[in-house]
Amino acid sequence: MRECGDCTECCRSLAVYIKDVNYKSPIGKYCKYVKKDSGCGVWNDDKSRHCKRFYCGWLLNEKVPAKYKPNKCGVVFKYEDQNRNYAQYWVNERDFKNSKKSMKELLQLTPARENIRKTKVIA
């Protein structure tokens, strides 16, 4: 089974809203609770409730090549349906040179639905 290990890409690629403490973090900014070497600093806390509902495609599907680990390729994705026919993507074009190319390759494996935004480019 795959593990996040040194990756924390979803903690800045997705917008964060933690209602309990009225904390918001926009797309592209690291959540203030992230510990860069060890992941979420509040994982055992109720604060991370919202994040526990995010199912990272790379983590779930071991058939997706290892090179697409989000902190290696700059793309985070999640499946949009149970059969994993569609996915939603977030691409970090700022910090990863080949992220657009990686996203194109990932789209070949799992397309994005037309009515779902394919990318959220990190500013």
Cβ proximity to ligand SF4, 13 vs 112, nearer residue: 13
Using CB under 6 A, which residues numbered 8 to 47 contact ligand SF4? 8-11, 16, 31, 33-34, 40, 42, 47
Closest CB 68 distance from ligand SF4, rounded Å: 10
The answer to the question of residue 103 lying near ligand SF4 (CB under 6 A) is: no
Closest CB 78 distance from ligand SF4, rounded Å: 9
Closest CB 97 distance from ligand SF4, rounded Å: 18
Distance CA(90)–CA(107), nearest Å, equals: 12
Number of residues forming the site for ligand SF4 (CB under 6 A): 20
Cβ proximity to ligand SF4, 109 vs 114, nearer residue: 109
Three-state SS for the chain is CCCCCCCCCHHHHCCEEEHHHCEEECCCCCCCCEECCCEECCCCCHHHCCHHHCCCHHHHCCCCCHHHCHHHHCEEEEECCCCCCCEEEEECCCCCCCHHHHHHHHHHHCCCCCCCCCCCCCC
- Nearest CA to 70 out of 86, 50, 90, 49 is that of 90
The answer to the question of residue 122 lying near ligand SF4 (CB under 6 A) is: no
Residue 16's identity, in one-letter code, is: V
Site for ligand SF4, rule CB under 6 A: 4, 7-11, 16, 31, 33-34, 40, 42, 47-48, 51, 56, 58-59, 70, 76
